Amino acid sequence: MRLSRYFLPVLKETPREAQIVSHRYMLQAGMIKQSSAGIYSWLPLGFKVLRKLENIVHEEQAKAGHIAMLMPTIQSADLWRESGRYDGYGEEMLRMKDRHDRDMLFSPTAEEMFTDTFRSYVKSYKDLPLTLYQIQWKFRDEVRPRFGVMRGREFLMKDGYNFDLTKEDALHAYNRHLVTYLRTYERMGLQAIPMRADSGPIGGDYTHEFLVLADTGESEVFYDSAVTDISLGQRDVNFDDKAQCQSIMDEFTSLYARTDETHEEDLFNAVPEERRRVARGIEVGQIFYFGTTYSEPLGATVDDGKGGQTPIHMGSHGIGVSRLLGAIIEASHDDKGIIWPEGVTPFHCGILNMRSGDDACDAACEDLYAQLTKAGLEPLYDDRDERAGAKFGTMDMIGLPWRITVGPRGLKNGVVELTSRRTGESEEMSPADAVARIVDIYAGL
C-alpha cells in the first residue's frame, strides 16, 4: 500500500476524551472513530488488525477441530424466554420490537441460539463430541462504556460452545479451549494468564478467565510470579489426547492466580513472599463448563445408545476480539505510539522515502516495494510529499515493527537503514539484504 493512496486519518492533536493510552493511540493512529458511546467505526488500519486477530482465532480453533459458523445478531425473545434469561438479563440487553410488535433483541451472547441449533439437528450420541463457534458482534448496553474498544457496547467476540455426552468429555473440551486460547494469545504477542474466576449465578467450579497484566486493567489480580515463566511455545499438541490436554491445564493452573472475585488470602499467603504479586489485568477471554444448565430447559438431549435420552453437557468459551486490540496496545507501546507484535501488525514493514521526488530515492523505494510485495509481504510505503519529520512521526505512531529508511546519502554508498520499532536500533545494509531480513523475520509467522 502506498500511503498517498491509503485512508489513514492520523490525528495531529491529542484526543482529550481518551483516558488510557490504547484508546488515545487508536484514535490518533486513525484506527477507529467513535460513532456513539461505546460504538465505533473501524477505519481501515483498525479493521486490518481486527481481521488479523480474527484469522489467528480461526486458525487456532481449526487445529482443535472446532467448527466455525455464524448466528444472527438480532434474535427473537422467544428463545430467551425458554431458557429463562429474557427477564433475568437486565438492562444490558438491548431490546426492540419489529413492525409486528414482536420482541427482539441484539444478542449479548449466544448460548440459546447454539443450543437451539444443536437440538434441531443432533439426535444421537454418535454425533458427539461437537464444538461450534462464531466470531460475531455482540451488544451489551454497559452502564459505563469506556476505554475505547476495551469496554464497548458493540464489540466483537469469539464465542464457542461444546456439546458432549458426559461431564468427562465436556471437561476435555474445556481443557482444549484453554490450550487453543493460550496459543491464540501467544501468537498475538501477549501473555494472558489463566486465572480461577467466579462462575456467577450459573455455579460450578470450572471457569477460568485469561488476563493480560496491565496497569490500566479493570480487574485486580493476585498471582504467583512463577506463572509468568510458563509458555506453550512451539509445543506439539494432540487435541484428541485427553491426558496431554489435562496436563497442560494442570501446568498452567496449579499455581496461585486469581481475580479479586475468587481471591483467598490464606491460599495467597502460602505462596513464597518474594513470588506474591498483586497487580491489575485486562480480561481477554473466559472459558466455562456449565453442564446441563441450558440443555435441560431447552430440551437438548441425545439418544444415549442405551435406549434413553440424556441432556448434553455444555460449556461456553469467549474471546474478546475487539478488546484484544486495546490490550495489545496497552502491553506494547512507548511514548511515540504503538509497537505491533509481528504476528498482528497491519503492515509488515514501512518504507520511508526521505526525499520524495529525488530520482534515486524514488527508484530505490519502488524497488523495495516491489520486492517485498513479490515475497508475499505487505509493505506500507510513505511516498507522500511531506517533511521527513512528519513521516517518522506517522510511522512511529502506527507502530509497524520494522522500517526501511531510504535517503540520498545512504544510497550513494549503496545502503538503506533497517530500524526496529521496538528497540529503535538501526542497521545499514544493501536494499537486497534489508528485503531478505524482513522476509526472514516473517517466515515463521
By C-beta, is 163 or 210 nearer to Mg ion?
210
283, 382, 383, 396: residue in contact with ligand ATP (rule CB under 6 A): 283
The residue range among 269-277, 284-292, 302-310, 428-436 that interacts with Mg ion, by the rule CB under 5 A, is 284-292
By C-beta, is 168 or 198 nearer to ligand ATP?
198
Indicate the Cα dihedral angle 352, 396, 28, 350, nearest 10°: 40
Residue 315 binding target from Mg ion, ligand ATP, none, CB below 5 to 8 Å by type: none
Q: Provide DSSP, 116-143.
A: HHHHHH--BGGG-SEEEEEEEEEE---S
CA-nearest of 259, 283, 150 to 211 is: 283
Residue 293 binding target from ligand ATP, Mg ion, none, CB below 5 to 8 Å by type: none
The CB-of-151 to ligand ATP minimum distance in angstroms stands at: 5
Q: At what angle do helices 242-253 and 167-187 cross, to 10 degrees?
A: 60
By C-beta, is 286 or 332 nearer to ligand ATP?
286
**Binding residues for ligand ATP restricted to 106-125, rule: CB under 6 A:** 109
Residue 83 binding target from ligand ATP, Mg ion, none, CB below 5 to 8 Å by type: none
Site string for Mg ion, 234-273 (x = CB under 5 A): ----------------------------------------
Work out the angle at residue 294's Cα, subtended by the Cα atoms of residues 289 and 100, and round it to the nearest 5 degrees: 135
By C-beta, is 184 or 286 nearer to Mg ion?
286
Contacts of 1 (CB under 8 A, 6+ apart): 347, 378, 379, 380, 381
Residue 13 DSSP label: S
CA-nearest of 222, 235, 129, 227 to 180 is: 235
Q: Are 134 and 68 in contact (CB under 8 A)?
A: yes
Residue 401 binding target from ligand ATP, Mg ion, none, CB below 5 to 8 Å by type: none
By C-beta, is 287 or 344 nearer to Mg ion?
287
Residue 142 binding target from ligand ATP, Mg ion, none, CB below 5 to 8 Å by type: ligand ATP
**Binding of ligand ATP by 318 (CB under 6 A):** yes
The residue range among 44-52, 278-286, 352-360, 427-435 that interacts with ligand ATP, by the rule CB under 6 A, is 278-286
By C-beta, is 191 or 244 nearer to ligand ATP?
191
**Binding residues for ligand ATP restricted to 54-113, rule: CB under 6 A:** 109
Q: Which residue is nearest to Mg ion (CB)?
A: 286
Tracing cell 498471582 back to the chain, one arrives at 223
By C-beta, is 204 or 305 nearer to ligand ATP?
204
**Binding of ligand ATP by 140 (CB under 6 A):** yes
Contacts of 337 (CB under 8 A, 6+ apart): 25, 28, 29, 396, 397, 398, 399
Number of residues that bind Mg ion (CB under 5 A): 1
By C-beta, is 155 or 256 nearer to ligand ATP?
155
Number of residues that bind ligand ATP (CB under 6 A): 15
**Binding of Mg ion by 162 (CB under 5 A):** no
Q: Are 338 and 392 in contact (CB under 8 A)?
A: no
61, 286, 345, 394: residue in contact with Mg ion (rule CB under 5 A): 286
Residue 172 binding target from ligand ATP, Mg ion, none, CB below 5 to 8 Å by type: none
Q: Grid coordinates representing 152? A: 464497548
Q: Provide DSSP, 344-390.
A: T-SSSEEEEETTTT-HHHHHHHHHHHHHHHHTT--EEEE--S--HHH
By C-beta, is 284 or 312 nearer to ligand ATP?
284
The CB-of-124 to ligand ATP minimum distance in angstroms stands at: 31
The CB-of-218 to ligand ATP minimum distance in angstroms stands at: 6
**Binding residues for ligand ATP restricted to 144-183, rule: CB under 6 A:** 151-152, 155, 157
Contacts of 418 (CB under 8 A, 6+ apart): 402, 403, 404, 426, 427, 428, 429, 434, 437, 438
Q: Coil, strand or helix: which one is 37?
A: coil
CA atoms of 166 and 172, how far apart (whole Å): 10
Q: Are 355 and 407 in contact (CB under 8 A)?
A: yes
**Binding of ligand ATP by 217 (CB under 6 A):** no
CA atoms of 345 and 356, how far apart (whole Å): 25
Q: Coil, strand or helix: which one is 151?
A: strand
CA atoms of 53 and 155, how far apart (whole Å): 14
286, 293, 345, 419: residue in contact with ligand ATP (rule CB under 6 A): 286
Q: Backbone phi, then psi, for 34, in 5-degree steps?
A: -70, 135
The residue range among 70-78, 114-122, 127-135, 314-322 that interacts with ligand ATP, by the rule CB under 6 A, is 314-322
Binding site for ligand ATP (CB under 6 A): 109, 140, 142, 151-152, 155, 157, 283-286, 318, 320, 322-323
